[in-house]
Structure 1
Amino acid sequence: MYGIKVLMAKNYIDNLSEEARKGMQEKAEQGIWPTETPLGYRNVSGPDGKKIIAVEPTLAPIVTKLFDWYARGDFALKEATRKAHAAGLTYPKSGAKVPVSTVHTILRNRLYTGWFERNGKLIQGKHVFRRAIGAHLTL
């Protein structure tokens, strides 16, 4: 009897996992970022009730400046990070300063250009940040 219960539980977990994967893929195909948001964005409920990402009003301007500083070549990565810290770039929940490695990840993240990659496909997102950063960015 115990073996049957274990098999049923495993089947339930496998099915739940598959349905979650399908849901995230469907959401991505609709241009909606399917997972946790990067710095400068926040998860909100859209008009249709689906969770979407929107620009975080306090961090987005700092992230935009970070892209500007780095793209123009005014500052190296570490200098841009220090300048971003001075402007207030911190993790929203903990308030800790964002390390250089995370700033590097931000600058390499295609999501900020309005596109994202999912399962090897390049998808144009419905989120808006590219206009805030400027048209000079291509990742």
Structure 2
Amino acid sequence: MKSAYLYVRVSTDEQRRKGFSLIEQEDRLIKYCEANRVKIIEIFREDFSAKDFNRPEWKRLIRTIKKKNKRPDYILFIKWDRFSRNVALAYQMIKVLQDLNVQAIAIDQPVNFEVPESSVMLAIYLAIPEAENLRRGLNCSDGMRRARKLGRWPGRAPVGYTNLIGTDGRGFVAPKQPEANQIKRAFEEFARGTFSISEVRKMLMLDGLQCSRNNFWKLLRNPFYCGIITVPPNAKEELQLVKGIHEPLISEQLFYDVQIILKGRHHPKVLKENSKILFPLRGVLKCPYCHKRLTGSASKGRHAKYCYYHCITPKCKGRFGIKALHQSYEEELDKISLR
């Protein structure tokens, strides 16, 4: 009696469009095994796209086959599009299974690998799903491009906005608070030319904004926040800038001021700490080890700057934290009283 693993797969998109069901596929495969006297060892249920074989359940299936001494004779599925939607990767996986002495069989599209002419039918069965995927992707990208040209945002709303559905059933984006005000503040603070990008991000994170360093950099370069939607270039058209129908968070002038700073045409006026205020005792105190004068400087750590008084002699070990030294100096001053 032959043995088999059953593999049923559906993607969320297919379930919504075509009503495919894992239960329906599984039921048909079980009936096929009962009719053809095939023993079912295990059933693998997948909810993942078939664009490649980097799927959790499929990888577990291959690991199970390699691990067990007695391997199944077949891997059964309904159609070849349940197996793969990529022709090149499908042929590679078929070869891997053949090396493991396991045969892949689609019960609705049977292929006899012992007959050379059957390879033509296999090529057709594998090519049709890939062509469907490519056509669907092209239609989707064309639709998103048309939406951008009309000033509509077709995808997930950027930070500071949220996706909503209008009374006409069409989606649109609207400002989301408090993120919208935080984004507006980010542009305003950076446009002053006083703070760097990391400093502005830290200020907003203290205010509650959750945004990674890389995404914050992209955020400041995104014209969507001033009401402009970009239509990316393709083989026939160049990059286009379209006035969006969404509510902008900042003015175009503020956005372009920020871009000038980002491109390096204007260097921000970074505030420099006054060393005389930070180290008022510099040049006054003497090192207890070599009796040379103490100077002061700041060391940059991972999260902050740390200030120290240290000896002017490079090899001297005299080094004192600014807080402890100032505190002890003030304690000594408190002991002094005028007659």
Specify the TM-score bucket, using the shorter chain as the normaliser: 0.7 to 0.9
* Structure with bigger gyration radius: 2
Structure with the larger RCO, 1 or 2 (CA within 8 Å, 6+ apart)? 1
Measure, in 1, the Cα distance between the counterparts of 2:154 and 2:240.
14
Aligned to 2:255: 138
Aligned to 1:108: 221
Residue identity opposite 2:163 in structure 1: N
Identity %: 26
Check conservation: 2:187, 2:255, Cα contact below 8 A: no
Q: Does 1:5 align with 2:106?
A: no
Q: CA deviation at 1:138?
A: 3.3
The secondary structure found in structure 1 opposite 2:254 is: coil
Q: CA deviation at 1:35?
A: 2.1
Residue identity opposite 1:124 in structure 2: K
Query: What is the CA deviation profile of residues 30-73 of structure 1, one whole-angstrom value per residue up to 9, with x for unaligned ones?
Result: 10112222211111112322222111122111111111111122
Q: Does 1:122 align with 2:235?
A: no
Check conservation: 2:190, 2:200, Cα contact below 8 A: yes
Measure, in 2, the Cα distance between the counterparts of 1:10 and 1:82.
46
Structure 1 stretches of 4+ moved >4 Å: none
Query: What is the CA deviation profile of residues 81-122 of structure 1, one whole-angstrom value per residue up to 9, with x for unaligned ones?
Result: 1100011101xxxxxxx2333222111111111002112111
The secondary structure found in structure 2 opposite 1:137 is: helix
Aligned pairs, number: 130
Q: List aligned pairs for 1:42-121, cutoff 5 A.
A: 42-90=162-210, 98-119=211-232, 120-121=239-240
Normalising by structure 1, report the TM-score. Answer: 0.83
Aligned to 2:157: 37
Measure, in 2, the Cα distance between the counterparts of 1:5 and 1:52.
40
The secondary structure found in structure 1 opposite 2:255 is: coil
Normalising by structure 2, report the TM-score. Answer: 0.36
- What is the aligned-residue RMSD (CA, Å)? 1.7
Structure 2 residue runs without a partner (length 5+): 1-120, 233-238, 257-339
Residue identity opposite 1:85 in structure 2: M
Aligned to 2:143: 23
Give the number of the structure whose residues are more often helix, by fraction.
1
Structure 1 residue runs without a partner (length 5+): 91-97
Measure, in 2, the Cα distance between the counterparts of 1:49 and 1:137.
34
Q: CA deviation at 1:6?
A: 1.3
Measure, in 2, the Cα distance between the counterparts of 1:103 and 1:11.
38
Measure, in 2, the Cα distance between the counterparts of 1:134 and 1:122.
15
The secondary structure found in structure 2 opposite 1:138 is: helix
Residue identity opposite 1:26 in structure 2: R
